Amino acid sequence: MNGDLIVKDLHVSVEGKEILKGLSLEVKKGEIHALMGPNGSGKSTFANTLMGHPKYEVTSGDILWKGESILEKETDERARLGLFMAFQYPVAIPGLTFGSFLRAALNARLAPADPHANGKVPTKKGMPPKEFRELLRKQMKMLKVDDSFATRYLNDGFSGGEKKRAEILQMAVLKPEIAIMDETDSGLDIDALKVVSEGVNALAGPHLGILVITHYNRILNYITPSRVHVMIDGRIVTSGGPELALELESRGYDWVREEVSSR
Ligand SMILES: Nc1ncnc2c1ncn2[C@@H]1O[C@H](COP(=O)(O)OP(=O)(O)OP(=O)(O)O)[C@@H](O)[C@H]1O
Ligand SMILES: [Mg+2]
């Protein structure tokens, strides 16, 4: 229970339209799960709901983390509890360097939840700048990102591949307990895919649960999932081992749809 993410019969609406229609899933620390499914099936909706995006309204069901419901918690609080999300489309913030962004995010993550902060990030001193710079340098080296990264503005003018590496770098620095990666592999060339996968593998271990949302089997050649789930029309309709991803790649989704409709 401790360290498990448990999603129970989750129903979610966006602007009054039901998108998730009874999604159930469990991810334990130390496990890697892959979530696949056709465009529009609700994968990103699920990821956004996990992080507490205000546009996504949970109408029934629950999300438990370490045995407690997180539905009432704001996004920053979820991040402090160890949840992390790499977005399908990361935003650019001109004027904020990647280094200062990371340091602020890390200090927010390290700050203990303050019951009097009223949802605001507590103003405690975090990691000393020197220690932070050393941590950052070490992680940048591991991910083979250029040192200049830290002084560039967040995602501003980053190439597609650089954005994805930046997300993995965030993950390396923030050390989450559950990481959700929404199409971190899309738009990566083969070398970048390897670097990103190696980064993920270096971070994987008994302290981290990973949910990889992807359309392609190729990232799963580098990151081996313990389970593969298929989402269609807002629910997980079938799950299996890594071989399921291969089958989907060769046969598409129609056979899954047929199986579901004949149940
Ligand atoms: N913020 C939003 N406003 C309006 N509709 C939304 C919003 N977010 C999701 N939807 C709708 O919910 C449905 C599921 O979208 P979602 O992005 O979750 O699919 P997906 O499985 O991630 O697809 P893809 O594989 O293309 O990334 C779509 O019909 C989409 O238009
Ligand atoms: Mg998506």
What is residue 101's three-state secondary structure?
helix
- CA-closest residue to ligand 1 atom 25: 39
What is the structure's pLDDT at 43? Answer: 95
Nearest CA to ligand 1 atom 8: 45
**pLDDT tens for residues 203-248?**
899 999 999 998 888 888 889 899 999 999 999 999 999 999 999 9
* Predicted local distance difference test score (pLDDT) of residue 148: 87
Spacing, Cα 104 to ligand 1 middle (Å): 30
DSSP H helices, 42-159, are 43-51, 75-80, 98-110, 129-142
Q: Which atom of ligand 1 is nearest to the CA of 38?
A: 25
- In order of 34, 76, 163, 208, the CA distances from 218 in angstroms are 12, 32, 19, 22
Ion ligand 2 — residues with CB under 5 Å?
43-44
pLDDT at residue 125, as a whole number:
65
Sequential pLDDT tens for the chain (263 residues): 566 899 999 999 999 999 999 999 999 999 999 999 999 999 999 999 999 999 999 999 999 999 999 999 998 889 889 999 887 666 777 788 888 888 988 888 887 655 555 555 555 567 888 999 999 999 888 888 888 888 888 878 888 778 888 888 888 998 899 999 888 777 788 888 887 888 888 889 999 999 999 888 888 888 989 999 999 999 999 999 999 999 998 999 999 999 888 88
Check if the beta carbon of residue 39 is closer than 8 Å to that of residue 186.
Answer: no
Sign of CA dihedral 63, 239, 212, 183: negative
- What are the structure tokens assigned to 99, written together? 């280094």
User: In the structure encoding, which two tokens stand for residue 144, read together?
Assistant: 């083979």
Q: What is the structure's pLDDT at 91?
A: 72
d(CA 12, CA 18): 6
Reference 239, options 6, 19, 28, 37; nearest CA is 37
- Give ligand 1 pocket residues (Cβ under 6 A): 14-15, 19, 37, 39-45, 55
Helix boundaries (H) for 23-97: 43-51, 75-80
- pTM here? 0.88
What's the gap in Å between 190 CA and the centre of ligand 2?
Answer: 21
Domains of the chain and any CATH numbers: 4-261 (3.40.50.300)
Which ligand sits nearest to residue 42's alpha carbon?
A: 1
Residue closest via CA to ligand 1's atom 6 equals: 14
Mutate which of 13, 15, 44 for ligand 1 pocket (most atoms within 8 A of beta carbon):
44
